[in-house]
Structure 1
């Protein structure tokens, strides 16, 4: 099959329209990112009904370089009914060194969006350090379609635009939660080269055969994807790879996908425009087919999948099952876990109390808090501490050891 013939084989009118939408989306993403690099325009105000809630203060500038921790950029996403969970997740992963962008998709109501924006403007630490932003006009997204990839790329472009220099992009959903403190996570990432991406992947030559149409690329309100008849043939111009839709990507790789200095990211974005679950394919396939990045990856995303615990615990009583789930999740050694159900607040509360030492309705304490020790664990963190110093626990050391082992044995 000639290179590019996969597009011709999927060109029903609806599929072709979706492909055209992805081309348009690609141009918008590239233009949005490029304008930020060239002109340094400020973030937009929420009240204008446009894009991003502007941080209440100029962001603190963390020191960078040898001897200093890295800087992480978080893209936290959710939909209708997720604003409370996203706020809780933000508090759990917050550190003044990092950047945070919260995106409630178009399925969320105006009240939810305004509530989250109001919270971002009212938390003392967020006001002081100016590193939390909220997307004011949510994109329509279906997690099974290309709109999910477009939303992530646009979020990444925003973070490249508004953020100080950062080292990794961490993507989290509303149902995810950390298993280590922000200090522990920064300590662990300090131990590995900053050009590496942590992306679960495997070769999957037949996984993208289904043809779907994602109407969310064409409209401003959320819609479900629709399925088309037939299957596409495997392309001969690149190999397909598949993995978890929640990678941790290096800044260099993110810039490559957003700015697209060559045709590979654009070609693959177009190819996956009509594919089912492209978030499981896009970044993995770009990485594996790029001569520049294929040898700078770790085949692990530092996550524990909560859903995989259910079968082994089904025969236990409720209390014993809850304890076993906690032990399994926390004992996994992962940095994050997901996806937690809506009814698992007690489990998250135990993680808050025993792992993060996060006070009720407060952010996770760290070395940056002006308060020390038990006082910081009991009360809200005071601002004014040193954001360039982190203090790790045994869990941070354990995660750093895992990452060092993974880096030592990485393959594509």
Structure 2
């Protein structure tokens, strides 16, 4: 009897549970069918692609206010990064303030700079320049301005100018020289030049000894910068076809030319601009033409940087430097000067100016005679 009662109780419990399951199965089925119906409504549209049912249209219009229907990928620039330059800014006694002015005019956070006052300058002047470089907050931020604190002797005779340039390059590259003898031909040109990074690496490392041997040769020459780099690059197979025959300078010479060019003044301003050259020389210290270059060509106030795309400040009435607020240093905003430079570079790389003017040799006899004259004159002087 107990077993029968237990079975009956179990049967009733099972029957009740089944009834409970049947009670929620029906609403679940109805809910699923309704959900499928709503899903069907959202997928039905007219041939033009517009939703037919107003219920869906209201949802679509509401959501489109917050979600971009088609996300467009940001364009990826295929242009190479802007070029970077390394400058040696060197001077002598009394040139300290001019070096500061030149440094500020040429400065960009992505470039590298070495400044140097030679042994003729007094210790106080060198110390003042060192303080300027060390304490300027922009130079400190980017760490891209170095000073040769141990002044080099720089003269027009011998290899001192070249050695000073190589010293600056070694500071930037931390290179060293190697030696294996070789022969070379002589070339001459301007003492003002732009040298590529691979070529500077080569002059410092000198893996075939040509740079070092050439430097020893030029110890017997006057104004070695007018021949050393030209001779090295035009004798190196790796680099001789990379030369462009221009020093990118506007220079006013006498006719016939003397040892030094004219000092440029305001009277030369229009010719400087029309030359499309990015550099010019010579200038007297604080000549009014420099102020005109700063204001008209560089848009630079006294003691300020030349403003570029990296400067996002505004120039206020109180003379605030726009570069006191630094933005994205990779932004480049070419101005009229860039257009003039483009014109010059296009001319230099033209068919008639580029290849035909690379590493042109003088007549062998004249080149040899000139070399012998230099060696003989200096050799006689040394023997005395």
Tell me the TM-score normalised to structure 1 length: 0.60
Deviation at residue 149 of structure 1 after TM alignment: 0.9
Contact 2:126/2:149 (8 A) holds in 1: yes
Map of 1:124 onto structure 2: 137
In structure 1, C-alpha distance between the alignment counterparts of 2:305 and 2:196, rounded to whole Å: 26
Instruction: Report SS of the residue matched to 1:304.
Output: strand
| 1:298-338, Cα deviation, whole Å (9 max, x unpaired) | 11111111445999xxxxxxxxx954311112221101001
Count of matched residue positions in the alignment of Structure 1 and Structure 2: 265
| 1:76-102, Cα deviation, whole Å (9 max, x unpaired) | 101111111101100111111111100
Mapping of residues 124-163 of structure 1, within 5 Å: 124-161=137-174
Instruction: Report SS of the residue matched to 2:174.
Output: helix
| 1:272-307, Cα deviation, whole Å (9 max, x unpaired) | 112111111100011111111110111111111144
Mapping of residues 168-179 of structure 1, within 5 Å: none
Structure-2 change in CA distance of 1:104 and 1:326 (3 Å): same
2:226 maps to 1:280 = yes
Runs of 4+ in structure 1 off by over 6 angstroms are: none
Residue of structure 2 aligned with 1:67, choices 54, 67, 80: 80
| 1:63-88, Cα deviation, whole Å (9 max, x unpaired) | xx943211110111011111111011
Instruction: Report SS of the residue matched to 2:334.
Output: coil
Instruction: Report SS of the residue matched to 1:77.
Output: strand
In structure 2, C-alpha distance between the alignment counterparts of 1:119 and 1:278, rounded to whole Å: 31
In structure 2, C-alpha distance between the alignment counterparts of 1:126 and 1:351, rounded to whole Å: 24
Q: Mind listing any 5+ residue stretches in structure 1 that lack a counterpart?
A: 1-64, 163-235, 312-320
| Structure showing the higher helix proportion among its residues | 2
Contact 2:250/2:275 (8 A) holds in 1: yes
Contact 1:358/1:377 (8 A) holds in 2: no
Map of 1:329 onto structure 2: 272
Structure-2 change in CA distance of 1:124 and 1:328 (3 Å): same
Deviation at residue 395 of structure 1 after TM alignment: 1.9
Contact 2:156/2:222 (8 A) holds in 1: no
Contact 2:265/2:287 (8 A) holds in 1: no
| 1:206-263, Cα deviation, whole Å (9 max, x unpaired) | xxxxxxxxxxxxxxxxxxxxxxxxxxxxxx9432111111110001111111110002
RCO greater where, 1 or 2, for CA within 8 Å and sep 6 or more?
1
| 1:341-379, Cα deviation, whole Å (9 max, x unpaired) | 23x52010010010001111111111101215x559952
Instruction: Report SS of the residue matched to 2:157.
Output: coil
Contact 1:71/1:98 (8 A) holds in 2: yes
2:351 maps to 1:410 = no
2:366 maps to 1:353 = no
In structure 1, C-alpha distance between the alignment counterparts of 2:254 and 2:242, rounded to whole Å: 29
Larger Rg: 2
Map of 1:82 onto structure 2: 95
Structure-2 change in CA distance of 1:264 and 1:310 (3 Å): closer
Aligned CA-pair RMSD: 2.6
Q: Mind listing any 5+ residue stretches in structure 2 that lack a counterpart?
A: 1-77, 176-181, 258-263, 359-384
Residue of structure 1 aligned with 2:320, choices 379, 384, 398: 379
Moved more, 322-331 or 109-118: 322-331
Tell me the TM-score normalised to structure 2 length: 0.64
Contact 2:157/2:222 (8 A) holds in 1: yes
Moved more, 347-356 or 264-273: 264-273
In structure 1, C-alpha distance between the alignment counterparts of 2:194 and 2:245, rounded to whole Å: 11
2:342 maps to 1:396 = no
Mapping of residues 208-219 of structure 1, within 5 Å: none
Structure-2 change in CA distance of 1:125 and 1:379 (3 Å): same
